[in-house]
A = this chain, B = another copy of it.
Amino acid sequence: MRPLTPADLNPAILNVQYAVRGELAIRAEEFREKLQAGHKDLPFKKVISSNIGNPQQKGLDQPPLTFTRQVAALMEYPPLAELVKDKWPQDVIERAQELQEEIGSIGAYSHSKGVPLIRKHVAKFIEERDGYPSDPEDIFLTAGASAGVSLLLNVLITPPTTGILIPIPQYPLYTATLAQYNGVALPYHLSEPDGWQTSLAEIEAAIAKAEKDGITPKALVIINPGNPTGALLDVPTMESVVRLCEQHSLVLLADEVYQSNLHKPDTHPFHSFKQVVRRLGSPIPLFSFHSISKGVKGECGRRGGYFECANISPEVRALLYKMVSVGLCPPLAGQIGVDCLVRPPRPGQPSYPVWKKETDEIAAALAQRTRIMARRLNALPGVSCVESPGALYLYPRLELPQKAVEAAGKLGKPADALYAMELLEDTGICVIPGSGFGQKDGEHHYRLTCLCPGVEEYVGALESFHVKFLEKYGGL
């Protein structure tokens, strides 16, 4: 028999692209293995994975929140309660007891939509955030927000003529999943000169183009705060987006996983689409996604998150339930993480002071690093960078020398991919080129995370590489 080759596989799979863990990440992994094996011939001592928002990774070491981890340890091994009785805060022990009474063992499958009590807590969290009712039956706990996005795209896309409107630049989960399910990406450009604002005219233009091409726009993706841009939508824009969805019968997919990563909350606050939809009394079908991987928790490895449905009929909800039931249930460790996300310690509770200190420090450090990095990047020749008011990233724009564009072309690569590869090879810093997120023709960007603790060393390396690169390709 002949061996299995890529040509034998589902062609949709071949079209999937996911730059965040693509060629650069694989190369970074190789360097990490080399360093671990004791190789001394690399020009750097460690690999910094700035390609991915992974705050607790080795080398970044953002500490996990004590409250979450103590509750989770007690859920793993309930007899531990006896041992820590007078040593851990009483509210930790009570929280674990309450969850154990509801869940039993975390080694059992839960309800496929997630533990009912935790869904109630999520609904309460949303009510307090928005001031509008939320029904636990509308909440689906998931293995991170990605699992929810993937499910919804699979359900919404009827190949081959379903279009999904996605922002450019975008988090490549969207294009990857669209390729996987044979949907058509309908890109609309965010406006860099306005701090990556969402432009209604761009969305309208993308819809018009789709209709001309025989593609039915089915849903609109908004990432707020933006990834990779960090931009926040203001309320008037959100209202216009909702009205546009009404007008074009679009499902709104609101990716709100960075809702608590706000660096300038006074000038750039977060408003949920659920709140705007309810205030307008709009009937648009809305799915909102949230996650424990981002914010100040950064619990990526637990795989936890949820989505809320609004204006979704019981029949459609039952179909979603059927689909999640085939996957049995989201990981219980992630569900416990969601409970701790939506029910953090309150003032007056014994865990509160530690929790407050930990979360304040993480938030302040992130905001400060984002500010410093944006300022320093903006001071470099040929670099301009919107100072991101939210999320975990910067998305600087590069003016690259013509010689670099040509050298990259010879390798069959965009010039920012060449830039990112040389940056990795020179400094051990792994970033993702703009070509992985989308940008206008002829433009160059890269996305980097603002998670590195030693910001001085990190930015210093970025700066000296940049100058070297320009020198190498005649840009200075």
Contact = CB atoms under 8 A, between A and B. Distances in A.
A176 B325 CA distance: 10
Given A21-B112, A283-B1, A107 B76 contact: no
A142 B2 CA distance: 28
A299 B107 contact: yes
A61 B105 contact: yes
A97 interface: no
Interface in A146-162: 146-147, 150, 154-159
A285 interface: yes
A438 to B, nearest CB: 16
A359 interface: no
B329 A301 contact: yes
Contacts of A104: 56-58, 61
A303 B331 contact: yes
A4 B69 contact: no
B157 A10 contact: yes
A311 B5 CA distance: 11
Interface string A413-451: 000000000000000000000000000000000000000
Contact of A331 (B74, B157, B334): B334
B319 A64 contact: no
Contacts of A4: 251, 285, 311-313, 316
Interface string A54-94: 11111001001010011011101100100110010000000
Interface stretch (A12-20, A194-202, A343-351, A460-468): A12-20
Interface in A313-343: 313, 315-316, 319, 322-323, 325-334
Contact of A158 (B11, B176, B303, B329): B11
Interface in A19-73: 20-22, 25, 29, 52, 54-58, 61, 64, 66, 69-70, 72-73
Contact of A301 (B25, B54, B107): B107
Given A283-B1, A323-B16, A110 B301 contact: yes
Size category, A interface: 35 or more
Nearest to A21: B325
A303 B13 contact: no
A249 interface: yes
What is the oligomeric copy number? 2
Contacts of A1: 245-247, 249, 283-284
A132 interface: no
A44 to B, nearest CB: 19
Contacts of A3: 283, 285, 311, 313
A176 B109 contact: no
Contacts of A25: 325
A6 interface: yes
A29 B111 contact: yes
Contacts of A154: 10, 13, 180
Contacts of A64: 105, 107
A306 to B, nearest CB: 15
Given A9-B319, A105-B64, A76 B83 contact: no
A107 B329 CA distance: 20
Shortest 9 CB-CB contacts between residues of A and residues of B = A21-B325, A333-B333, A301-B332, A331-B331, A58-B104, A56-B105, A56-B108, A73-B76, A56-B107
29 contacts: A1-B246, A3-B283, A5-B316, A6-B316, A10-B159, A10-B181, A13-B154, A13-B323, A20-B325, A21-B112, A21-B322, A21-B326, A25-B325, A52-B109, A56-B108, A57-B108, A66-B77, A80-B80, A83-B84, A105-B301, A106-B301, A107-B300, A109-B301, A143-B303, A173-B326, A301-B332, A302-B331, A302-B332, A331-B333
